[in-house]
Amino acid sequence: MPDRSPRLREALLAAAFTADGLLDLLGAPAYAALARSETVPALRATRGASPLDTLVRLFLLQRPVPHERARAALPLAECMEDGWVVRAGDEVRAAVDVRPYSGPEGQDWYIVSDLGCSVGGAGGIGSREEGVVLGVGGASATLAGITVRTPVASVLDIGTGSGIQALHASQHAGRVTATDLNPRALEFTRLTLALSGAPAADLRLGSLYEPVGTEKYDLIVSNPPFVISPGARLTYRDGGMGGDDLCRTLVQQTGDRLNEGGYAHFLANWQHVEGEEWQNRLSSWVPYGCDAWIVQREVQDVTQYAELWLRDSGDHRTDPAEYAARYDAWLDEFEARRTRSVGFGWITLRKSAAAAAGNPSVVIEEWPHAVEQPLGPAVQAHFARQDYLREQDDAALLAGRFALAAEVVQEQVGLPGAEDPEHVVLRQNRGMRRATKVDAVGAGFAGVCDGTLPAGRILDAIAQLMNEDPVLLRDRTPQAIRLLVEEGFLEPVGSAE
Ligand SMILES: C[S@@+](CC[C@H](N)C(=O)[O-])C[C@H]1O[C@@H](n2cnc3c(N)ncnc32)[C@H](O)[C@@H]1O
């Protein structure tokens, strides 16, 4: 059958069923309430009879609408034949959730998923069917934001779900392969891409790397079913392997699937096990031949974690005894695994020649503070700085020239009225939005860095000003410069001595 989704897309656009159109119709408070899965304000704002009122009620609020009104807003006969909507007496109901989603360049995209699955509401996902396919959640947006978006030939999206990552990838990739264990997810991905006017993807059914064998890619992304749970109940979140084994397997099997220079981005959860440093657990996951940057964004103790996911699946609204039994099972599982808490975060791998030669850059850190999304350019810059630092010994670093990164400010911290600050903090307003404490030399050095003088010469001048021995200062400062470069406060601009 020919793909008729372009006609539906045309109708949706003509009615202004877009992210901007919704904001105009609903107003900011009702629009924001909808993102929290609260539908009452939007119902009040769509009492009119325009095609946009009809489409919002039909696809977002999932209320039946009169047949006549549906026919005024949609190519109705086609939509019924193709399964977008179903007839219910004199009324028409949506068969799927269709949600306007604005692309990074303001593209009018649509995410198609199961009904009632708008993520983020107070009431859980609304469906506890094993194979339910969710729409866009906070995790989906985070992964899309941290992904490096350089033009590439091939992208693999593992666990594609509604197809959101494949949709983003379609804008900068020659071809996109999207896989899922759930056949319904592949169908939703097909609909999401078609309705968004994006090129079709190569859709493959199966677990993790099974459907692609030994094929290699320039970019791999996955927001996998990372939840550590006492049994596989919901395909979209419970990986079905014990503990954090699914995330470990996914990361470990990536080394052989990336082309040289290629990136892989994953969201993951990991166990914090008694008697083990979490950083050691994660560094053991990094595959041979890859550099890695792993950022732990949050840690929850096992009770918080169990409650989070019990609420996510709506279990808190079931019979109290059933809820208690499920909660107990969760804690039994963690006890058996000697797990005290669970880390949430991002894992980025990059295949590199230096890593293959036995000199990988592996940075594992905790950064729970707000960042500037999209973070993709900052992720790429992190690896470029690691490449630079890997090649510089201390002498080369002192011969190098550096510039203070854009929008770094200095904050002086100390008691009010004190003559001198207790310490100085450099703070980034871009990217990771890091802050770091520096001493007087560090602050003075960073302040002078405008890319003209080599680092060593700046240190000599500081030594003179502060009555310090310049040789000693040159000896002890490279480590601090290295850290300021690694964290993106200073950018290398070349070497001059
Ligand atoms: C959290 S959802 C992510 C969906 C989407 N990629 C996003 O970013 O919103 C995880 C997806 O992984 C799929 N999945 C579950 N187990 C899998 C496995 N072993 N291999 C591949 N996909 C799997 C689920 O069906 C689900 O679509």
Q: How do residues 412-438 score in pLDDT, each as one tens digit?
A: 998 988 888 888 999 999 999 999 999
State CA 212 to chain mean position distance. 23
Tell me, what's the pLDDT at 256?
96
Supply the residue whose CA is at minimum distance from atom 26 of ligand 1: 236
Q: Which sign does the torsion angle of CA 255, 261, 265, 270 carry? A: positive
**Mean per-residue pLDDT of the chain:** 94
- Examine the pLDDT at 392 and tell me if it is beyond 70: yes
Using the atom order of ligand 1, give the atom closest to the CA of residue 160: 6
CA–CA separation, 293 vs 386, rounded Å?
10
Closest CA to 292 of 360, 356, 224: 360
Tens digits of per-residue pLDDT, 468-481? 999 999 999 999 99
Confidence tier at 237 by pLDDT (50, 70, 90): confident
Which token pair is 132?
């339910």
Ligand 1 centroid, distance to 170 Cα (angstroms): 18
**CA–CA gap between residue 86 and residue 214 (Å, rounded):** 42
* DSSP three-state, residue 457: helix
Cα 48 from Cα 30, distance rounded (Å): 15
Mapped onto helix, strand or coil, the DSSP state of residue 321 is helix
Looking at residue 456, its pLDDT comes to 97
Cα atoms found within 13 Å of the Cα of residue 109, Cβ hemisphere only: 26
* Residue 225 CA, closest ligand 1 atom number: 10
Q: What is the DSSP letter of 199?
A: P
Q: What is the DSSP letter of 60?
A: I
**Is the four-CA dihedral 453, 455, 456, 462 of positive or negative sign?**
positive
Determine the pLDDT at residue 300: 98
Q: What are the residue ranges of helices labelled H in 82-204?
A: 138-146, 164-169, 183-195
- Whole-number pLDDT of residue 120: 39
Residue 355's pLDDT is 98
- Residue whose C-alpha is closest to residue 262's, from 151, 98, 129, 103: 151
Quote the tokens at residue 355: 């890593």
Which ligand 1 atom sits nearest the alpha carbon of residue 157?
Answer: 6
Ligand 1 centre and the CA of 177: distance in Å? 14
- Residue 216 pLDDT exceeds 70: yes
Q: Would you tell me the crossing angle of helices 183-195 and 5-14 to the nearest 10 degrees?
A: 60
Across the range 291-303, mean pLDDT stands at 98
pLDDT by residue (tens digit) across 52-99? Answer: 999 999 999 999 999 999 999 999 999 999 999 999 999 999 999 999
* Per-residue pLDDT, 36: 85
Query: Going along 63-132, which residue ranges are E strands?
Result: 65-66, 85-88, 91-94, 97-102, 108-113
As a whole number, mean pLDDT of residues 14-37 equals 94
Query: Which single residue is written with the structure tokens 């939509």?
Result: 79
Q: What band does 116 get if pLDDT is binned at 50, 70 and 90?
A: confident
Res. 268: pLDDT tops 80: yes
- Is residue 283 within 8 A of residue 371, CB to CB? The reply is no
Higher pLDDT, 124 or 339: 339
pLDDT at 258 over 70: yes
Task: Report the nearest-CA residue for atom 11 of ligand 1.
Answer: 159
170-184 per-position pLDDT tens digit: 999 999 999 999 999
Q: Which of 198, 192, 195 is nearest to 175 (CA)?
A: 198
Residue from 100, 201, 204, 114 nearest 159 by CA: 204
Task: Give the predicted TM-score (pTM) of the model.
Answer: 0.95
- Which of 107-111, 202-206, 321-325, 418-422 has the weakest average pLDDT? 418-422
**pLDDT in the model for residue 117:** 60
* Cross-strand pairs, 402: 492
Position 127 confidence tier, pLDDT thresholds 50, 70, 90: low
